[in-house]
Structure 1
Amino acid sequence: MAKTSVKTFHRFPSSFTVLTVLVLMGACLKSLTPMNDAVFVPGAGFSGFWYSFGRIKSLENAKDQNYYCFSAGCLAISAHYLDKDFESVADTALKIQNSWRVGSLSRYSVATEFVDTLLSSTTTDDGSISSSSSSSDSLSRNGSSDLAIGSDSEVEEEWLSHVNVLTTTWYGGVKISVASNRRELREMLLKTSFIPFATGWGGNRDGELDGGFSLLFHPRCRKGIFLPPTLEMLMNILNVNMGFETVEKLYAEGLKG
């Protein structure tokens, strides 16, 4: 009787298996990197900003700390160092939100407008954006503009040395930058907050984008702000239309820690 041969086919590992192995390898390599005596502040968009803004204000000696941050986390740190209070920042955010609602401001310009107002030292008496710092009329499609953000935008400020901004390079690596003046910080904030076709037009901003995409490669820190994985937090990460009640609640939760 003739023998039948049985062929054995070797299956390739699934993409999920490969991804899991890569993540575990990355985690192992990260555990070998040096620990920084600093506070890690993550992003998480609009909702993450308000929680982190409150959380940073609750930290002891917050202005004496060193920070590694990305996206909204860097915005929250900057707001604290610039002595912005909740009411003024919330008022600014609501004005920008209203401009977006009525169609005078593109969704891709919301982040730029907020950053320019946050860093600007020239505002009107009612807290709105002055003509010298308003960016909505001169923005290009990728959200870039050449604006004055105050006469002192190129003056070196000591507090900037405490803020290490993390961005993702176009090939997936992480870049750590420290600004020497507000003009440099502005560009870093726009890069680390750039989410393709969500907060900005296109795939990246000058070869860099939101720092969250390279999270696995971020430096390790002794302390950190951990965002609560609540439904409210997750649903409002990219919600430009977030209501004031939600903003106030997230900020209050951050204050409580």
Structure 2
Amino acid sequence: MDKVAGSAAAAVADIGHGASLAVGGFGLSGVPNVLIGALHEAGPGGLSVVSNNCGVDGGGLGVLLEAGRIARVTGSYIGENKAFARKYLAGEVEVELTPQGTLAERLRAGGCGVPAFYTPAGVGTAVAEGGLPWRYAADGSVAVASPPKETREFDGVPHVLEHAIRTDFALVRAARGDRHGNLVFAGSSRNFNPLAAMAGRITIAEVEELVEPGEIAPGEVHLPGVFVQRVVALTADQAAAKGIEKRTVRG
């Protein structure tokens, strides 16, 4: 039952070329930076990543992106990552953009064993009708476009069929975790981290504070250990290393 790995490097050692990853975090909140760094050092490429956004320039998944390790991204936001936008427009990475709520539900459905679901989000747009650029060619033309999706009416309202997401691995970050893999997330880091963890066949969690089993009350557990296979305890410095996405000051 003790799922604690000896190091981040050991925890990600079996993530190979072409693996698919669900990665938690939103902007700079709740990003598993230590595991991403270990994966960068390990060197696998051709990765397919599912995450709300693909990190920032020089941080989070942006580290893997800039190193050319990511081949495909499923996400909802390109955001302010200039390297991500540049690689997408240059045809160096394939990008499947999906509505944020739909992405969250696709991850949750994957973890719950639900193969697909209908949602009204995206009906009447290219999300349902197809044609969204997944990959550009070098000349700027669309090399690969999204296919049309099945639609169906429920109570007179059209819905689009969305497929669940399951990945080979998931990387997440939690504020607290015990040796059995039970996790607690702080604040907004609770958004995509539990869902990403559910979607991974092998889920690796880096935790800011490692506690013994029983120290987390059952009612405080945000994600039960059944969804987590490996736990990496962060050092005090690693736990404290958190960036500020937008610094705001006033006189």
TM-score (norm. length: structure 2): 0.30
Higher RCO structure (Cα 8 Å, ≥6 apart): 1
Higher strand fraction (1 or 2): 2
Bigger proportion of residues as helix: 1
